[in-house]
Amino acid sequence: MTLRPSAGQAARRTAGDARNHELPFDTASAPEGIVAYIDGGARGNPGPAGYGVRIERPDGELVEEFAESIGVATNNVAEYSGLVAALEWARQHGIRELLVRSDSLLLVQQMLGNYKVKNAGLQPLHAKARLLVHQLGDVRFEHVGRAKNAHADRLANAAMDGAAKP
């Protein structure tokens, strides 16, 4: 299992660093495989919730988009639900190399092991995501701004609209 930040988040060595070697994630900003943009949200937090996932090739070509309403949940549960859905999609399609891009800094840092998962409601989703990452092989995580995650945000909002309808 490889769980690492993307090249854009790599700690860089300075020019004066005597150890002039490449970090394992310095070679490319996107994997050879697939890029998954994920987003989740809740109106009311907790409230009507959903997630959106956009799957692309590294060149930006759309592979697939999907979204799902998940009922009443918190924003973080919705974010993790989107991550799990993207990882399950990758597993079902035989993807071994995946770059996950999310505008949730909390989710990215928790998946990288930099933040603890303290919320009991998130722990099962986090454990499931880590298991899927292990099954896939090479999964990278990158925090992106909302503007770069607009397609997944649009899908998540559509899912939240669906969750809000009786």
Q: pLDDT, tens digit, for every residue of 62-89? A: 999 999 999 999 999 999 999 999 999 9
User: What is the number of residues in the chain?
Assistant: 166
**Mode of pairing for the β-strands spanning 138-143 and 47-56:** unpaired
CATH classification at residue 47: 3.30.420.10
pLDDT of residue 4: 56
Judge whether 13 lies within some domain. no
Are residues 4 and 22 in contact, defined by beta-carbon separation less than 8 angstroms?
no
What are the helix and strand counts (H, E) for the chain?
A: 4, 6
Domain enclosing residue 105, as ranges: 2-8+28-164
- Domain total for the chain? 1
pLDDT of residue 33: 85
* Closest among 129, 145, 7, 16 to 80, alpha carbons compared: 129
Judge whether 129 lies within some domain. yes
